[in-house]
């Protein structure tokens, strides 16, 4: 591990810890950092059952590194945005659950990134913001879809028009975070949740992530049919057998 690494990975048993490591830029997401995230999620360590993501230097991420985007042609911007979409989708569709430990700045592209994670923990002092409208640009990392699904298009519109900042307390109330903790405790809570998730059946974790995301975009009857198919697959495998046996024997299940 060196200070020059933009993404630091540490393995804690069956939990992978990824640290965004550009503290001098409040962990702004440049091309190298997005590429490092892409490479990790393309080849998640086999023993990993949960992933925790945090930022060094007191901040999760202040967003897109605008120093790389001062002058670009429209097609270049579109290609860059589509690459972000691809990498964020790789995270959102990861078979291994991802827990974001959010502190300090969670702004712009940093909030788009957090919205792709499956569980989000925010410290009370977090600052959520979508400042793109103040910069004369539009979101390009998936926020118009993912953040809208969390808080609604109307509220995202207001955030972008005014540059409004929400605290961690407000963000948890609105749906930007699932868990709220005092300052300095996000990482501890994230690992607690990751440990709980890691004890689940990996197959069921994957089903939860994949199936619910797809069902949410289906017509109701198609969604119900997909739910039945997923239930049938999950309840006829060895993990279901172990889970039921463990319940009857009043012991924790061992999913291997």
Length of the chain as a residue count: 256
Name the residues annotated as catalytic.
Answer: 112, 132
**137 contacts: CB under 8 Å, gap ≥ 6:** 69
For residue 116, which phi and psi values (nearest 5 degrees)?
A: -85, -10
**In the block, which residue shows the tokens 């901040």?**
59
Helix 202-215 vs helix 220-234: angle between axes, to the nearest 10 degrees?
170
**In the block, which residue shows the tokens 């039945």?**
228
Q: C-alpha distances in angstroms, 120 versus 5, 58, 194? A: 24, 16, 11
């Amino acid at each position: 591990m060196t200070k020059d690494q933009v993404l630091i990975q540490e393995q804690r048993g069956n939990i992978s810890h990824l640290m965004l490591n550009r503290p001098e830029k409040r962990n702004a997401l440049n091309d190298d950092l997005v590429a490092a995230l892409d490479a990790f999620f393309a080849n998640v360590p086999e023993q990993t059952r949960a992933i925790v993501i945090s930022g060094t230097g007191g901040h999760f991420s202040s967003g897109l590194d605008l120093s790389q985007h001062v002058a670009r042609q429209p097609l270049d911007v579109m290609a860059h945005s589509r690459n972000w979409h691809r990498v964020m989708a790789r995270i959102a569709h990861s078979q291994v659950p991802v827990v974001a430990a959010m502190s300090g700045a969670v702004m712009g592209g940093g909030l788009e990134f957090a919205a792709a994670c499956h569980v989000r923990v925010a410290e009370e002092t977090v600052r959520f913001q979508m400042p793109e409208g103040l910069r004369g640009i539009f979101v390009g990392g998936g926020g118009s879809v993912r953040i809208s699904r969390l808080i609604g298009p109307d509220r995202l519109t207001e955030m972008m028009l005014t540059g409004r900042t929400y605290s961690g307390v407000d963000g948890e109330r609105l749906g930007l975070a699932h868990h709220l903790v005092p300052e300095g405790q996000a990482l501890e809570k994230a690992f607690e949740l990751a440990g709980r998730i890691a004890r689940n059946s990996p197959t069921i974790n994957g089903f939860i992530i994949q199936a619910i995301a797809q069902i949410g975009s289906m017509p109701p009857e198609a969604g119900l049919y997909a739910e039945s198919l997923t239930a049938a697959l999950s309840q006829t495998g060895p993990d279901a057998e172990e889970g039921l046996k463990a319940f009857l024997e009043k012991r924790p299940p061992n999913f291997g």
